[in-house]
Amino acid sequence: MKNFIIEGNHPLRGEVVVSGAKNSTVALIPAAVLADSPLTLEGVPAIDDVDALIAILQDFNVKTEFEGNILKIDPSNMENIPMPEGKIHSLRASYYFMGALLAKYGEGVVGLPGGCSLGPRPIDLHIKGFEALGAKVETKDGAIHLSTPNGLHGAEIYLDIVSVGATINIMLAAVKAKGTTIIENAAREPEIIDVASFLNKMGANIKGVGTSTIRIEGVEHLHGVSHQIIPDRIEAGTYLAAAALIGEGVCVKNVIFEHIEGLVAKMGEMSVKMDIFEDKIYVHPRQGDLKMVNIKTMAYPGFATDLQQPITPLLISSVGSGSIEDTIYPKRVKHVPELRRMGADIEVIDDTIYIKGAKKLTGARVKASDLRAGACLINAALYAEGTTELYGAEHILRGYDNICGKLQKLGAKIQLVEE
C-alpha cells in the first residue's frame, strides 16, 4: 500500500511541466499493435497504466523499450493470445485491445475492463459498433469473445450517447475493414484527434475527427511511425487549480489552451488572474477573495468531467455558495465525504454537489477512491492546515507522472511512503 503524506499550507512557486496525455497514451499503445513494423511514441507519461499496458503487450509477444518518456513498440512478432483475465483487468483502457485485435486478426478474447469505480460505465456502444462492422460478440466467464465469421465491413454507426471510448474503439476496428465506416454522434475530445492523427500517419484514412461525424475508409496495411503525444489537459488543469488555490506565482508549461478553455473560463469567472501564452499559462499570486461559481460537466468542448474533482478545493476556498453537476458520471462524488473529514461544508443531493465556500480545511486521514478523487484530495491537502495522510495513492499513480516530484519542485511538502 502506498500513501501520500502532505503537510499543508506551503505556497507553491515556480514552473511545472505537463506530461503527455494519459487518456491519449492508453489508446495509442493498443493502436500501435495494428502496425506491421516498429514504431515510437514520444512524450509517454511514466504512470502505472502505461506499465500495465506494456506488460499486456509483452504477453502478446510484442517487444517494447521504455526509457525517458520514449516508448518503442515492435509488433512484428505479435501473437494473438487469449487474455480473459489477469493484467487485462487492471485498467479500463484495456478494452481498446478489442478493437485492435478485431482489426488485426479478426478475433480475440479480452477480459472485461477494470479502472476507477465511477458508477455505471457499460461498453454496450462498443459492442454495438463491433457488431455493425460484422463482428460476433459473446460474453463468457467474464471475458469478451470476438470473432468475424465473414470479415469486417464498413457500416454507418450512430452512437446513442457521446462516448470517447466507443468512438476510439470503433475507429480502431474500422481502420482495416472493407469499405467505408461512418460514425455519427462521435465524441470530439482532443485525445480522439491524437489517436486518429497517429493512425493516419500509419496509413489509415480517417476524416472528420474533431466533428460529430467521422468517416473511415478501410485500408489493408498500417506501418510503423514516430508520434508525439499531446499534453495532458487534465494534469494541466489539476496544477492550474492548485496554483490558483495556494500558489504565489506558478507557470504551468506544455499546455494547449484550447484543450482546457472551459476550465480557464471558469477560473477567470472566479477572479483568478492568469497570463495565457502559446504553450504555457502563468497563474498570478492570489489577491483577495475568489468568487464562487456553478459547474456543469459536459462532453468536449464543455467542462471536462475529469476536472470537476481537482477544481473542487478551489471552490471550497471561494466566497459564496455553488454547485457541481456531472452529466457524464453523476455518481462521481466519492471525494465528498473525504473533503467533509477535512472540514469542508459540502454535500451531495440528487447527484449534485453543493458547496458553501470560504472554508479553511484541516489535515486528516483520507482515502482516494479513484484517480481524479485522489487529485482533488492532494489539492485539498496542499491548502489545508496541518498534515494529511492520503491513502490509496495507487489510484493517483495510475494517471499522474511524477506528481510527488513535480509538487516538491514547486515547494510542496509531500512524500510518497510505502507500507
Show which residues are catalytic: 116
Which CA distances in Å does 356 have to 118, 199, 345? 24, 47, 5
- Torsion angle (degrees, nearest 10) of CA 381, 387, 393, 399: 30
- Cβ proximity of 387 and 362 under 8 Å: no
Residue 21 identity (one-letter amino acid)? A
Which CA distances in Å does 264 have to 57, 150, 181, 243, 302? 37, 49, 36, 12, 11
- Cβ proximity of 14 and 37 under 8 Å: no
Q: Is 178 annotated as a binding residue?
A: no
Q: Is 92 annotated as a binding residue?
A: yes
Q: What sign results for the dihedral spanned by CA atoms 273, 315, 380, 352?
A: negative
- Cβ proximity of 160 and 135 under 8 Å: no
Q: Is 306 annotated as a binding residue?
A: yes
Which CA distances in Å does 107 have to 83, 110, 124? 12, 10, 18
Q: Could you tell me which of 387, 313, 409 has the C-alpha nearest to residue 8?
A: 387
| Burial profile 213-236: b = 16 or more Cβ within 10 angstroms, e = fewer | ebbbbbbeebebbebebbbbbbbb
Which residue's C-alpha cell is 502559446? 278
Count the Cβ atoms, other than its own, within 10 Å of residue 185: 17
- Cβ proximity of 263 and 304 under 8 Å: yes
Q: Is 406 annotated as a binding residue?
A: no
Q: Is 70 annotated as a binding residue?
A: no
- Cβ proximity of 58 and 75 under 8 Å: no
Q: What sign results for the dihedral spanned by CA atoms 387, 393, 395, 396?
A: positive
The cell for 263 is: 476550465
* Cα atoms found within 13 Å of the Cα of residue 243, Cβ hemisphere only: 28
Q: Is 121 annotated as a binding residue?
A: yes
Backbone phi, psi, residue 345, to 5° = -95, 85
Residue ranges for the known binding site for phosphoenolpyruvate are 22-23
Known binding residues for UDP-N-acetyl-alpha-D-glucosamine = 92, 121-125, 306, 328
Q: Binding site: residue ranges?
A: 22-23, 92, 121-125, 306, 328
